[in-house]
Amino acid sequence: MRDVASDTATRPRTRVDVVDLLTAMLSVPSVSGDEEALAAMLVWRLLDAGFDVDVDAAGNVIAAWGDGPETIALVGHLDTVAGRIDVRRDGGVLHGRGAVDAKGPLATAITAVSRQPRDCGRRFIVIGAVEEETTSRGAHHLATSMTAPQSLVILEPSGWDAVTIGYKGSVRLRASVAQPQAHSAGRDPSAADRCVDIVRALQDHAAAANAGVGVFERIDVRVLRFDSESDGLVDRATVDIGVRTPPDCDVAAVLGIVQSAAGAGEVAVLAQVPGVRTRRDSPIARGMVHAIRAAGGAPRFKLKTGTSDLNVLVPAWRCPAVAFGPGDSRLDHTPDERVSIAELERAVRVLELALSDR
């Protein structure tokens, strides 16, 4: 880990303003895999605010605040999906790529933590991880390099008055079929036909498993990419399949269905994370609920059909965890990504209250 901090005890501190910080973060593009410029800017912002700051071997920005026997980790991510959106303030709304997913939640956590007394008897670690949108490389590094905290807050949009306690898992598969070229008018299926059969077998399995269950308990199957070609001698086809899985899904059975349908074809698991559902009665979840009520909200628990770094860190650290952050997740990855400034400020207040809750 590379230490980039100076002595925070003697350095003057700059008060963090969440709108100013988020505007600066949105102004630095950070598509997944290219987060260095944002990390460098954020390091100096954090130092000015009085944090102790490191950049680890994966490129994650790690900012510590306070000290004590209890550690609360707040893990967001620096990267965004591709697609530049002009940064602008339109009345009470801030536009920009990452405003929701997930620079807004990370700016919220930095601001809320900076308002805690440094002698509060707790240690807060705010982390901007890399490559959450692609490989979760930053989270995987944290899972093996960092001591498990007592509580974890994943910084993802839930809305200021809601707490996320579950994410579906994800399996990405690639099935490939190659066979001697045959005439298209013949009776034998083509390589592309066989790939379609693989997808249908998996969809049939999912349909049977999904009977009578809710959205979060469903197995969802999507074709992500499909290619076929022939050189006149060999007929080839490849299909990439994305499977969203609930926490109790028998993933081995899913893989068995694909391998059986593929026959002599090849099946590769490109990426896999388990589904996770955390307890709503954990100390960190109760603290968030109390804080939302104290801020004038009616707290709700959410279960998400996507994935986040919660899927990586909870199985590794086995600590109580929630996800929280301002923003409407329906705007994730869209051309109209934006966040209400009023919601940003409410989320800061909620998190500030939750972190100070005993």
Write out the catalytic residue numbers: 79, 132
Q: Is 15 strand, coil or helix?
A: coil
State how far the Cα of 209 lies from the Cα of 204, in Å rounded to an integer.
9
262-297 in b/e burial notation, b at 16+ Cβ within 10 A? beebebeeeeebbbbbbeeebebbbbbbebbeebeb
Query: How many Cβ atoms from other residues are within 10 Å of residue 184's Cβ?
Result: 8
Tell me which H or E stretch contains 303: strand 300-304
Q: Which two tokens stand for residue 318?
A: 């086995």
Specify whether the CB–CB gap between 128 and 61 falls below 8 A.
yes
Nearest to 326 by CA among 163, 139, 130, 86: 163
Residue 331: which residues within 8 A CB-CB, separation 6 or more?
A: 99, 100, 101, 337, 338
Torsion over CA: 173, 332, 164, 357 (sign): positive
Report, in angstroms and rounded to the nearest whole number, the Rg of the chain calculated over CA atoms.
23
Angstrom distance (rounded) from CA 13 to CA 207: 57
If 0-12 CB within 10 Å is exposed, 13-18 middle and 19+ buried, where does residue 69 land? exposed
Q: Are 124 and 170 in contact (CB under 8 A)?
A: no
